Structure 1
Amino acid sequence: MAEQPKGRLVDVELDDTIGRATPDVEHERNVAIFDLIEENVFNPAGAPENGRFKLKLSLVDKRLVFDIRNEADEPLVTHILSLTPFRKVIKDYFMICDSYYEAIRSATPQQIEAIDMGRRGIHNDGSTTLMERLKGKIDVDLDTARRLFTLICVLQWRN
């Protein structure tokens, strides 16, 4: 079986015009970006194999914009996705994250673990939806999709 090209992100930026979020959300953003740059699979359709890419994520007119550039910061492609398929899962994710952060303050370890398992399940649903929406545009693995989904949620939290 032939090995797939291993394009990767070397820089990720979130639209900063939306403003700052809470410290918890900013922490999630920083961790997701760090983890994403450390390890990812990112292959835009039609881009050079084993390329190194920069990504700027933003929201424009309630749509998610993937502005993809090469390492020299030259534009390669822009993909615009409707947020409609993500609305319910993002809403559910926000609700369970609120419960999780509240539980950390007062719940038992078993309760926190149960909420966290639910949070991870919803996060996986959002990540799978993202992979499906990117199919034919950008090939990503599940770990990359998970980190990108976190960043999409951060953009929504800020908004």
Structure 2
Amino acid sequence: MCKADTGKARLIDVELDETIGRATPDIEHERAVAVFDLVEENSFQPVGDKTGGPYKLKISLADARLVFNVLRENDEVVVAHVLSLTPFKRIVKDYFLVCDSYYEAIRTATPSQIEAIDMGRRGLHNEGSQTLMERLEGKIEVDFDTARRLFTLVCVLHWRT
């Protein structure tokens, strides 16, 4: 759990539910960093919420679906949205493959080869972020940078070993 300064259309807290499961200490660290980055800077507004934020987000898994439970600062429930993970499977798989290539290239490749692989990695990350924005359309308004941070969190949720 991580907290930041309050604002109106933003997250001040993100929590990963126990349904996410635990992972190795390294992966848990990556998850904590992703949560911290998301809370540190974001734009997040449930569509149709007239009261406004700031908000808390509790992320869980149910039947291989991602559940976003949105709460007010006082823990009053705002809304819950369930997103299928299916549209992300290929992107996340490809993203991990390119990341593996990137980390291998850092050890052996030329700077131009590393840069090319990194451009591919960023392109896949942008694609995943855009897909997430599309899946949230009409449910939760986020800017592209927030979608990128949320997609990073979706990716690190898939790391199990």
TM-score range, shorter chain: 0.7 to 0.9
Displacement of 1:21: 3.7
1:61 corresponds to which residue?
63
Do the aligned partners of 1:8 and 1:40 also contact (CA within 8 Å) in 2? yes
TM-score (normalizing by structure 2): 0.86
Displacement of 1:15: 2.7
Distance in 1, Cα, partners of 2:60 & 2:120: 27
Distance in 1, Cα, partners of 2:23 & 2:51: 36
1:156 corresponds to which residue?
158
Larger RCO, structures 1/2 (Cα 8 Å, 6+ apart):
1
Do the aligned partners of 1:62 and 1:83 also contact (CA within 8 Å) in 2? yes
Do the aligned partners of 2:9 and 2:55 also contact (CA within 8 Å) in 1? yes
Among 94, 97, 101, which residue is 2:96 paired with?
94
Moved more, 134-143 or 30-39: 30-39
Displacement of 1:33: 1.9
The 1:122–1:33 alpha-carbon spacing in structure 2 relative to 1, beyond 3 Å, is same
2:127 corresponds to which residue?
125
1:71 corresponds to which residue?
73
1:35 corresponds to which residue?
37
Displacement of 1:20: 1.7
Among 20, 23, 39, which residue is 1:20 paired with?
23
TM-score (normalizing by structure 1): 0.87
How many residue pairs align between the two structures?
154
Distance in 1, Cα, partners of 2:38 & 2:88: 20
Do the aligned partners of 2:67 and 2:80 also contact (CA within 8 Å) in 1? yes
Q: Which runs of 5+ in 1 are unaligned?
A: 1-5
Distance in 1, Cα, partners of 2:11 & 2:91: 25
Amino acid in structure 2 at the alignment position of 1:153: C
What is the Cα-based RMSD across aligned positions, in Å? 2.0
Moved more, 12-21 or 69-78: 12-21
Amino acid in structure 2 at the alignment position of 1:102: E
Displacement of 1:22: 6.0
1:105 maps onto 2:107 in alignment: yes
Displacement of 1:67: 0.9
Do the aligned partners of 2:22 and 2:28 also contact (CA within 8 Å) in 1? no
